[in-house]
């Protein structure tokens, strides 16, 4: 694992955006895996700024998000579709039809998981996957105990994840308890992974990731088995 240490969230967001922009410039039809949550917001702001100032184009880029809540509509302000449109897609030139997020409102959720997995295959797999990390070590919404062999699937969110995500909702009771997430093997099949780790509350997770054992009880530890992972981590998380 290649570890890039940065000063703070601002520097991480600038460097992560520059990293992605380089890849898009080299391969304009990049298949880009995206994350939501608090961590990548600054990165997306920098991608937008660069698009506006330097014209980096996303017209041929195809994106796949890691996960989506089950049980809230895609136009709900806390759906990950809403988040992605609001924080990135509406402000760059990517055709919205090239942005894929699991459909948490599908009539047949199991069939939706299969469809999403096949969609990624259809496009030849993900070139670069952006990840955040949960303080319990989850990647995507693969909570502790998820099989390293898992494909896109339905997950019951851990109580700690529900609590952490409640900050985006008006009450704890409103936070969905289930989601569709890319599986761990789906993530591991990405050709390259960029993991962003920022803030004091990620310190313990960062320590376990770099020194703990590789185990399904700490999902992010699987990344140590991947040959092309870069971690950008700020001082607060070190």
Active site residue 87: no
Q: Which of 213, 77, 65 is nearest to 137 (CA)?
A: 213
Closest CB to ligand F6R among 38 and 57? 38
Active site residue 67: yes
Fill in the per-residue mask, 98 to 137: x = in contact with ligand F6R (CB under 6 A), - = not in contact: ----------------------------------xxx---
Q: Quote the least distance from Cβ 196 to ligand F6R, whole Å.
A: 8
Active site residue 136: yes
Q: Are 194 and 131 in contact (CB under 8 A)?
A: yes
Closest CB to ligand F6R among 67 and 234? 67
Closest CB to ligand F6R among 31 and 138? 138
162 HSE (CA, 13 A, CB side): 15
Q: Which listed residue (13, 36, 43, 46) binds ligand F6R by CB under 6 A?
A: 36
Residue 163: how many other CB atoms lie within 10 Å: 12
Total interface residues for ligand F6R by CB under 6 A? 14
For residue 38, state whether it binds ligand F6R (rule: CB under 6 A). yes
Interacting positions 52-81 with ligand F6R (CB under 6 A): 66-67
Q: Which listed residue (44, 58, 141, 218) binds ligand F6R by CB under 6 A?
A: 141
Angle, helix 41-54 to helix 9-26, in steps of 10 degrees: 50
For residue 37, state whether it binds ligand F6R (rule: CB under 6 A). yes
Q: Quote the least distance from Cβ 42 to ligand F6R, whole Å.
A: 11
For residue 234, state whether it binds ligand F6R (rule: CB under 6 A). no
Active site residue 54: no
- Residue number closest to ligand F6R, CB atom: 132
Closest CB to ligand F6R among 25 and 224? 224
Pick the catalytic residue: 136, 153, 165, 234? 136
For residue 35, state whether it binds ligand F6R (rule: CB under 6 A). yes
Contacts of 213 (CB under 8 A, 6+ apart): 221
Strand order from edge to edge, sheet including 229-234: 2-6, 229-234, 192-197, 128-131, 31-34, 62-65, 99-100
Pick the catalytic residue: 50, 67, 117, 234? 67
Contacts of 24 (CB under 8 A, 6+ apart): 30, 32, 56, 57, 58, 61
Q: Are 78 and 170 in contact (CB under 8 A)?
A: no
- Provide the annotated active-site residues: 67, 136, 138, 143
Task: Please give the residue ranges that form the binding site for ligand F6R (CB under 6 A).
Answer: 35-39, 66-67, 132-134, 138-141
């Amino acid at each position: 694992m290649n570890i890039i240490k940065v000063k703070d969230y601002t520097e991480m967001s600038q460097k992560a955006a520059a990293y992605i922009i380089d890849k898009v410039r080299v391969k304009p039809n990049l298949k880009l895996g995206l994350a939501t949550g608090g961590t990548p917001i600054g990165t997306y702001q920098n991608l937008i700024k660069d698009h506006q100032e330097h014209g980096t184009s996303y017209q041929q880029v195809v994106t796949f998000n890691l996960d989506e809540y089950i049980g809230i509509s895609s136009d709900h302000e806390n759906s990950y579709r809403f988040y992605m449109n609001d924080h990135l897609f509406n402000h760059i030139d990517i055709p919205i039809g090239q942005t894929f997020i699991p459909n948490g409102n599908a009539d047949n959720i199991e069939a939706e998981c299969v469809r999403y997995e096949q969609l990624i295959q259809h496009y030849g797999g993900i070139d670069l996957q952006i990840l955040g990390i949960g303080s319990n070590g989850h990647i995507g919404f693969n909570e502790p105990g998820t099989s390293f062999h898992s494909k896109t699937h339905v997950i019951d969110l851990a109580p700690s994840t529900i609590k952490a995500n409640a900050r985006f909702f008006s009450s704890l009771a409103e936070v969905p308890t289930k989601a569709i997430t890319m599986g761990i093997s789906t993530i591991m099949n990405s050709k390259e992974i960029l993991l962003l780790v920022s803030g004091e509350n990620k310190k313990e997770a960062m320590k376990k990731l770099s020194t703990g054992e590789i185990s399904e009880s700490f999902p992010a530890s699987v990344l140590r088995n991947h040959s092309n992972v870069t971690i950008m981590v700020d001082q607060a998380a070190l």
